[in-house]
Chain A
Amino acid sequence: MKTYVCIVCGFVYDEAAGRPEDGIAPGTLWADVPESWACPDCGVAKADFELVPV
């Protein structure tokens, strides 16, 4: 499981945790997050996230 961070606001998407409030189940791989999903804190597109090694 990997972690991705929004390059604009620092919001973290953790694959293990998913994002249940946006309908993204725990364990959802980043590749499987819909392209239409946007950062809940600042609205940047999925394409503007970066992979962060944790």
Chain B
Amino acid sequence: MSLSATGTGSDASQALPLVIVGAGLAAWTVARELRKLDTQRSIVMLSGDSADFYAKPTLSNALAQKRSAAQLVTTPAAKMAETLQVQLLPHTLVRSLDTAVRTLSCEDATGQSHSLHYGDLVLATGADPIRLPMAGSAAAQVQSINHLQDLGRFHEALGAAPKTVLVIGAGLIGCEFANDLLIGGYSVHVVDPSPRPLALLLPAGAGEQLQDALQAQGVVWHLGTTVQSLDADAASARLQATLADGTSVQVDAVLSAVGLRANTALASAAGIVCERGIVVDAHLQTSVPHVYALGDCAQYASAGARVLPYVMPIMNAAKALAATLAGQPTELVFPLMPVAVKTPALPIVVAAPHPAQSGQWTQDAGVEPGAGGVWRFVDEAGQQRGFVLTGKQSARRMELAKTTLL
């Protein structure tokens, strides 16, 4: 069965539907931005899940908001599809992509196969949590939260009574979940091989402030070590985590937040060039014409061949791509994109310098003790290339952004 109208010629890409694979923030934002420019183009969206719209950053502060996974949905999929005039195919898996004939092969929830012809294709397939190898009888009980459904499963695993959770990974997501679990009344342990939290993102002094702030609210840190094994303890019905430093911790649930890997499987199998993500040029086009990618699955030429997590890059990429798809070729230029770390114990705003940027962090003197801190990443010429604000200083984002050069 074919879902699309038959094409009239190889250059008639506008007459054929725009097909979007994925239904996360990147996918829906492309549809929303395109509808602002083009109300006529047929848009088909394929999603492996229900495609309900929710703000993904709220996954890691759901407990503070006292909201369940279901309550995080801001707009049901059907309402999104109706508003944006999108033909939505939920619970549909894309099995393969043939770019020579611009055709996708998919399978719907009933197991029925479809082939779908596209004029332009947008891959917004996201990223999957990295799973660390782990020994022990309960290794399979380690959870990750990268989707709304994951959060629901995690809440189920926690049950009603306040318990102890082990968080693996002290990066941005690990720290946000640790803080949220504290607010939810849980006891929290965090394990990370780094000497302090957010070690890749923050200068040492800022990381130490976060470490102290979360510790003061109850986080038990296990830094400079890793989890070797996770075993079920039959007597207590709990989990026993054994760390590389010899420590043993009894917990009720384990949450892994050690990073994401771009989901490139579909693109890669179709012969599209992929490295750390699906490689896209400044127009978000992949190595194949009429196939574009953005979001957590993409490796951006506009970002010096990096993958960029977080919301801001997606919003910028979606706007540029929508314009290109509407017939106004638009190069993606990322502005300065400070990231807010949602750790209420110590709010942090980070505008990270480009990884290849040389220079060093310097801390502003004169900030009162307890009022947070200001760090600036300064190059050899004295130019500010990034900044970190903690605590009360995080309100100074606008001021610091003005003096930062990308």
Contact = CB atoms under 8 A, between A and B. Distances in A.
B75 A7 contact: yes
Interface in B37-67: 53, 55, 57-58, 61
A46 to B, nearest CB: 14
Interface string B315-336: 1100000000000000000000
Interface in B72-117: 74-75
Interface residues of A, number: 16
Contact of A21 (B55, B57, B396): B396
Interface string A11-54: 10000000011100000000000000000111110000010000
A27 B338 CA distance: 26
Interface of B: 25, 29, 53, 55, 57-58, 61, 74-75, 311-312, 315-316, 340, 395-399
Interface of A: 5-11, 20-22, 40-44, 50
A10 B58 contact: yes
B130 to A, nearest CB: 23
A42 B61 contact: no
Given A9-B311, A21-B396, A21-B399, 17 more contacts: A5-B55, A7-B74, A8-B29, A8-B55, A8-B315, A9-B58, A10-B57, A10-B58, A10-B61, A21-B398, A22-B398, A40-B340, A40-B397, A41-B57, A43-B312, A43-B316, A50-B74
Nearest to B53: A7
B398 A9 contact: no
Among the interface residues B53, B61, B311, B398, which one has the most CB atoms of the partner chain A within 10 A? B311
B183 to A, nearest CB: 15
B397 A20 contact: no
A42 B312 contact: yes
A22 B55 CA distance: 23
Most B CB within 10 A of own CB, among A5, A22, A41, A50: A41
A22 B397 CA distance: 9
22 contacts: A5-B74, A7-B55, A8-B25, A8-B29, A8-B55, A8-B315, A9-B58, A9-B311, A10-B55, A21-B395, A21-B396, A21-B398, A21-B399, A22-B398, A40-B340, A41-B57, A41-B311, A41-B312, A42-B311, A42-B315, A43-B312, A43-B316
B303 to A, nearest CB: 16
Contacts of A42: 311-312, 315
A31 to B, nearest CB: 22
A43 B61 CA distance: 20
A5 to B, nearest CB: 8
Contacts of A41: 57, 311-312, 340
B315 A44 contact: yes
Contacts of B55: 5-10
A44 B312 CA distance: 9
Nearest to B316: A43
Contacts of A5: 55, 74
Contacts of A50: 74
Contacts of B57: 9-10, 41
Nearest to B310: A42
A42 B75 CA distance: 18
A7 B74 CA distance: 7
Nearest to A42: B311
Contact of A20 (B315, B316, B395): B395
Contacts of A8: 25, 29, 55, 311, 315
Considering the complex of A and B, which 5 residue pairs feature the smallest CB-CB distances, nearest first?
A10-B55, A10-B58, A42-B311, A21-B395, A9-B311
Contacts of A6: 55
